[in-house]
Structure 1
Amino acid sequence: MSELKPIVRLYFAPLSYPCGPQSSCCGAVGQSEEDVSSWKVLIESKLTGVQVDAIDVTRPLRLGRDDAVLRLLRTFGQQAFPVFTLNGEVLSVGPPNVDELLAIMTGRIGTSSVEA
């Protein structure tokens, strides 16, 4: 019997400027492409065998797979993002402390070693 590959889903809201990029009233909202890419690469490099899917929450989400994230979106709006899940379980809401996030993922996956 083969084991399924752990799946991390990184739900993000693309970086936007609700009042315009030069506005000083509210600032930027969401995550930059660079942040999303760096989190994805970091997790995949530190946790061998883990698949990371980046999901843009401004696009339609899937009932069933994304129910917990849909609840967070309805409750907190885009301020909840980024959200990290592992096999459907929400592990982190908001900007992560990457070391803590990796430790939680390692514990859930049962990986005995995380590459330095």
Structure 2
Amino acid sequence: MPAATLPLRYWCRCERTPAPSAPRGILALTPGEALEWVREGVRDVVAELAAEEFDRAWSWLGDHWRRTEADRRSLRAGLPYALRLGGPAALWTWTVHPVQPLPLLDRRLATTTRRIAQPAER
């Protein structure tokens, strides 16, 4: 019997340098969801960008469908994605990495397994 293949998920992360807090991140189910998360992050910081970076971000946001379709295909193929934008006070980096997360063990099964693994008290 062939081994089951785990579905791809997409680990999304945003880092700000200098870092005022821990990086933000999500585990997206689809490439589209991952790229939409990046778009939301760009919209959140677009007012803080340097002029040339603002223009680049605005172009990236406006060219959503054509550009992101190619990015979706790349993510489905297992390639990572990154976008870096800077402002006078900070640099933001959004990354998306295709990953295959391990399934979580069912809690009831974990409890049963623990009881079996521990010797009975006598």
Compute the TM-score of the two structures, normalised by the length of structure 1.
0.30
> Which of the pair has more CA radius of gyration?
2
Q: Which has the higher helix share?
A: 2
Q: Which has the higher strand share?
A: 2
